[in-house]
Structure 1
């Protein structure tokens, strides 16, 4: 089975909606697929609160796999520049972890910031899969 077909099978099994997005990319073979929108887990335990004033909607975030994380072998950390903000929620990280482990390119963007007491509602982000084919 081709790698692309395997990845689509993983995404379907995870129940993720595959929605292609057109951003006027110059290369017609490259597509973006929205994998998920999620709240940031662990806002209160990492650096998110101290760099809150520097965050804005549309800002790019970086995902880093933590396969040796003692609490979750599928842990995916969310970073803004050199600051660890938190994690992809555990119930939503398995497919993203597998894609990252396979070297797939994922792009993460802040889609909502709320001045809210509940740390799970403060930052929401979108993860897109950039792929060819």
Structure 2
């Protein structure tokens, strides 16, 4: 697991800072949906909706925590085991975007929202 995090981080940081394309770097479910506003806005969410990613370096539970927001409301967080490369990329000024890729009814709230994270590249 640590090796895959390191490889993902190296790949994100090695990408050129300028290109006119977007590269998907992660497809992941949202953790903590039941503890934040995700359940309250569930009926309003749509596939393709833009999401904001915020690295919460001062998070008391996880220094690599990446919060997932939708229209100013916190849906949850990237899973702890997958957040470090994204947090590091955000810290290094990478332009990351995210969107809802899939919504599904599921008894486990962590399986309800699948998101995709992209790094935005710009050409020189």
- Pairs within 5 Å for 1:18-97: 29-97=19-87
Q: Contact 1:74–1:94 (CA<8 Å) still a contact in 2?
A: yes
Alignment RMSD (CA, Å): 2.3
Shift >4 Å, 4+ stretches: 15-18
Does residue 1:114 correspond to 2:108, yes or no? no
Higher relative contact order (CA 8 A, sep 6+): 2
TM-score by length of 1: 0.79
Q: CA deviation at 1:132?
A: 2.2
Q: CA deviation at 1:82?
A: 1.3
1:35 match: secondary structure: strand
Flag the structure with larger Rg. 1
2:22 match: secondary structure: strand
TM-score by length of 2: 0.84
Per-residue CA shift, 1:2-56, capped at 9, x if unaligned? Answer: xxxxxxxx987138988xxxxxxxxxx3121110100000011000000001101
Q: Contact 1:17–1:35 (CA<8 Å) still a contact in 2?
A: no
2:45 and 2:10 map into 1 onto residues whose CA distance is 27
5+ unaligned residues in a row in structure 2: which ranges?
A: 13-18
5+ unaligned residues in a row in structure 1: which ranges?
A: 1-9, 19-28
Q: CA deviation at 1:123?
A: 0.3
